[in-house]
Structure 1
Amino acid sequence: MSATPREHTRTYHLGKLATELELRGLTATLRQYPPALRISDPDAAMLAETVDCVPLSDGWFYRWSWGELVGQTDDPALAAQRIVHVLAARQ
């Protein structure tokens, strides 16, 4: 099964987010199908979350596994800050 253009776009945006998360000390692993990031804190191995990427009427957005939006893909650094904040609050 070959990837669709939409999956390529998701993978592109998730790759940008993964880079930002890794700069902040988190581990981000890309799941290929459907594209999503498995994010974990190496210092708290049991703490992990999944974020995917969805197109909405006003652009592409990162989205938590429970459906709430993290932020626009235009600003992966801001989305990474929000993810770090949420994961830190769970420790």
Structure 2
Amino acid sequence: MPATPREHTRTYYLGKLATELEQRGLTATLRPYPPALRVSDPDTVMLVETVDCVPMPDGWFYRWSWGELVGLADDPALAADHIVRVLAARQ
């Protein structure tokens, strides 16, 4: 099944977030379909979360697997900082 333009947009934003997360010491693996990131802390093998990217009326947003918004996809650095804080608090 060929990827749709929306999936390409998701993959683009998730790639930018993956780069930011890896610069902060986390592991981010892109799941191809549907596009999402599997985010983990290499020091805490048991802690794994999924983040996807969804279009909303105000733009594209990163979203946790449980539906809560992480942050605006146009600012992957800020979203990565938020993800790092949430994962650190759960260790």
Q: What TM-score comes out, normalization by structure 2 length?
A: 0.99
The amino acid across from 2:70 in the alignment is: V
The 5-angstrom pairing of residues 10-25 of structure 1 reads 10-25=10-25
Partner of 1:6: 6
Aligned length: 91
Stretches (4+) displaced over 2 A: none
Q: Structure 1 length normalisation: TM-score?
A: 0.99
The answer to whether structure 1 residue 84 and structure 2 residue 84 are counterparts is yes
Per the TM alignment, residue 77 of structure 1 is displaced from its structure 2 partner at its CA by 0.2
- The residue correspondences of 1:64-79 to structure 2 (distance < 5 A) are 64-79=64-79
| 1:4-58 deviation per Cα after TM superposition (whole angstroms, max 9, x unaligned) | 0000000000000000000000000000000000000000000010000000001
Give structure 2 stretches of 5+ with no counterpart. none
Unaligned runs of 5+ in 1: none
Identity within the alignment, %: 84
Question: Alignment RMSD, CA only?
Answer: 0.3
